[in-house]
Chain A
């Protein structure tokens, strides 16, 4: 247990000054944005908002200037992200590119793909989707069957991906595919490719969720030809690269803030004379404060070049527990009294229905806890 450590991280005055700027920007940019819209949190999509954010220099803000970035610190970026999420800003269009696709390209293709693609991401114009899961490969990612074979023009890709968020608007997919037949070494023979979504042979079919949204998709890849320079990193290194990518995917403030709008609605609807209600909302407040410090602590570790994989898994596990407890508390406190059409009821309905996904996306609770158990040296 001693080896699983998150150190408290404090933010300097420069970060706090940036926070003030972010609040001012958001107050104006979101002045007409309703609570029901904010409830979608980082699933909310607005290409216009993404462009505005890009103009402010708040996408890819830690990246080198030659890639369109601002060379800000990781903690400055953290502050902007938490302000965006607390306000429920519609960051969904560019979120994946900013969080993981851009950093991946920068790390594994700094000379070829990064200069070509990153500037568009920072302008809020280029969007990404992630091609990991397949119909028969969910948590067991190493069992994927989509394959790429050498051909005259580079590589020919065949197969399908599923649960691909944002594929309908993405300009690019980063896909994990097999480049060698499965062997005893399960994690060998996997590679990552950058695929332009306009390439012939790609079909995107939306999957409607029970909220009526069609945010994720099936993506069919039928003889899709990509050039040699679209291999990210070295062929066969896909598994290792995905591991690094998932650490970025699992540790951010989006892993505990998804139900924020419902907490805010409850605070406004609460009866100040009801002491039991105050206690429940106070418990959530303590959890918010603690999760924020844990998430910030992991950001601090990442910024020092550490790789806190187990700590990140704990943050996501604990964060999802908090996010999912909020609709339960809302039901306990207001289930009997909240009237239809009020902002509380609308937000409560949305988040109650959205919440099961919080412990599925980005690695299920069970997978995360398996990672944590290994970190505890359970043999």
Chain B
């Protein structure tokens, strides 16, 4: 159920995004033109600081109330690093680090071979290479979570802010399947700008988990856009003298699609709800994993059905469908694909066995033990 806060945020998001995110904006962004005007509107309205503390200039929204912003990025296919900056600001703010100006990206250090946060005399430095970093060439800062290299992993994870405009940082720019900036960042003994212990004890890899949570909401938004486009098209497109949506074959596909969208949305909304429910701390890792698996799986099925329903017109650049479906193909991979998170869930389920599975499922605590050391 929507709280008043959530409804107010949803209205604001709808107003800002419907006014500003046009077909032309998306197309220009894809062609390499950074939409600075959009970024200005977003930051003037404080959307990027929605989860940050008041001290950091933020709105201190709960994850539950901020859900419409992240869903909106998907529904309107907003071509700026808003989700990354939003999550980065939340992590910094939770860790008591000042939130800087400018777009930010996210790196979970342990997910990149040979990338380490390590001690160098009295300071911590970042060394190595991070790949597939969202908005690598656009972001001014990176927020990382990491365990300090060669320190036992029982220690709490650290959050660190890295200035990407400094010596020792080399960017090689690339693009996602949706044509959004993504790239490789090389760090040669790069000092952190600030670092602190991540205070929460319920997410083992904060950047990875919260990134997955944010992507799940974005996927839900893009799924809803694809479904909306498909239903509209099926009602409008006339063949053999009637709308193609009158055909049972099309109706059956769209009904399955609606089931996929509703499943992804339920899994994701449950995860956002438990992020804001202190009695559900032990469920959060599980809920996030479930959300990213179901949202990413639905991304695959829904984009397939949407294109089939649209026929050839959906294959053109002129039609808007691809802005949603190509993002679905990109986002299902980010911050752990469906297979990645399913693998973690599966190992835990096998360990629980026939006796432990159902109790852990009803308590949603299947992944709680993996963070027991904290």
Q: Which residues of A contact B (CB under 8 A)?
A: 1, 4, 6-8, 10, 19, 23, 82, 86, 260, 263-265, 267-268, 270, 272, 275, 277-283, 285-294, 297, 311, 314, 317-318, 321, 366, 368-370, 372-373, 375-379
Q: Decide: A289 and B231 in contact? CB cutoff 8 A.
A: no
Mask of B230-270 contacts with A, CB within 8 angstroms, 1/0? 01001100000001011010111011101111110011011
From A260, A272, A286, A317, B290 is in contact (CB under 8 Å) with: A286
Give 9 closest A-B pairs by Cβ, nearest first. Answer: A282-B346, A278-B346, A282-B342, A369-B255, A282-B345, A373-B251, A372-B255, A264-B354, A286-B293
Q: Decide: B224 and A294 in contact? CB cutoff 8 A.
A: no
- Residues on B with C-beta less than 8 A from A277 are 346, 350
From A6, A268, A289, A369, B286 is in contact (CB under 8 Å) with: A289
Q: Decide: B259 and A285 in contact? CB cutoff 8 A.
A: no
Q: Decide: A294 and B350 in contact? CB cutoff 8 A.
A: no
Q: Decide: B254 and A4 in contact? CB cutoff 8 A.
A: no
The complex places the Cα of A4 from the Cα of B231 at a distance, in Å, of 14
Q: Decide: B338 and A283 in contact? CB cutoff 8 A.
A: yes
From A7, A369, A375, B1 is in contact (CB under 8 Å) with: A7
15 new A-B contacts, CB < 8 A, other than A6-B266, A282-B342, A289-B361, are: A1-B227, A8-B269, A264-B357, A265-B354, A267-B349, A275-B343, A277-B346, A282-B341, A282-B348, A285-B346, A292-B361, A369-B255, A370-B248, A373-B254, A378-B246
Q: Decide: A317 and B361 in contact? CB cutoff 8 A.
A: no
Q: Which residues of B contact A (CB under 8 A)?
A: 1, 224, 227-228, 231, 234-235, 243, 245-246, 248, 250-252, 254-256, 258-263, 266-267, 269-270, 273, 277, 286-287, 289-290, 293-294, 297, 338-339, 341-354, 357-359, 361-362, 364, 366
- Residues on B with C-beta less than 8 A from A86 are 358
The complex places the Cα of A263 from the Cα of B351 at a distance, in Å, of 13
CB-based nearest A residue for B272: A8
Q: Decide: B263 and A267 in contact? CB cutoff 8 A.
A: no
24 pairs across A/B with beta carbons < 8 Å? A1-B258, A1-B261, A6-B266, A8-B269, A8-B273, A19-B362, A263-B357, A264-B357, A264-B358, A267-B354, A280-B342, A282-B345, A282-B349, A285-B361, A286-B290, A286-B345, A289-B286, A314-B258, A317-B255, A376-B231, A376-B254, A377-B235, A378-B245, A378-B254
From B258, B289, B349, B364, A376 is in contact (CB under 8 Å) with: B258
The complex places the Cα of A137 from the Cα of B363 at a distance, in Å, of 43
Chain B interface, >50% SS class:
helix
CB-based nearest A residue for B358: A86
Q: Decide: B258 and A267 in contact? CB cutoff 8 A.
A: no
CB-based nearest A residue for B234: A378
CB-based nearest B residue for A319: B259
Q: Decide: A369 and B256 in contact? CB cutoff 8 A.
A: yes
- Residues on B with C-beta less than 8 A from A19 are 362
- Residues on A with C-beta less than 8 A from B357 are 263-264, 267, 285
CB-based nearest A residue for B252: A369
The complex places the Cα of A370 from the Cα of B262 at a distance, in Å, of 17
Q: Decide: A286 and B353 in contact? CB cutoff 8 A.
A: no
Q: Decide: A1 and B354 in contact? CB cutoff 8 A.
A: no
How far, in Å, is B368 (CB) from chain A's closest CB? 14
From A260, A278, A290, A379, B263 is in contact (CB under 8 Å) with: A290
- Residues on B with C-beta less than 8 A from A368 are 255
CB-based nearest A residue for B363: A16
- Given contacts A281-B349, A288-B361, A297-B266, are A314 and B259 in contact (CB under 8 A)? yes
Residue among A10, A263, A369 with the highest chain B CB neighbour number at 10 A: A369
- Residues on B with C-beta less than 8 A from A23 are 359
- Residues on B with C-beta less than 8 A from A282 are 293, 341-349
CB-based nearest B residue for A11: B362
CB-based nearest B residue for A87: B358
How far, in Å, is B245 (CB) from chain A's closest CB? 4
Residue among A86, A267, A287, A318 with the highest chain B CB neighbour number at 10 A: A267
The complex places the Cα of A77 from the Cα of B23 at a distance, in Å, of 50
- Residues on A with C-beta less than 8 A from B338 are 283
- Residues on B with C-beta less than 8 A from A285 are 290, 342, 345-346, 348-349, 357, 361, 366
How far, in Å, is A70 (CB) from chain B's closest CB? 22
Q: Decide: B234 and A268 in contact? CB cutoff 8 A.
A: no
- Residues on A with C-beta less than 8 A from B351 are 272
Q: Decide: A379 and B246 in contact? CB cutoff 8 A.
A: yes
The complex places the Cα of A265 from the Cα of B361 at a distance, in Å, of 16
The complex places the Cα of A297 from the Cα of B234 at a distance, in Å, of 29
- Residues on B with C-beta less than 8 A from A289 are 267, 286-287, 290, 361, 364
From A10, A286, A294, B262 is in contact (CB under 8 Å) with: A294
The complex places the Cα of A263 from the Cα of B354 at a distance, in Å, of 8
How far, in Å, is B273 (CB) from chain A's closest CB? 5
From A270, A281, A378, B251 is in contact (CB under 8 Å) with: A378
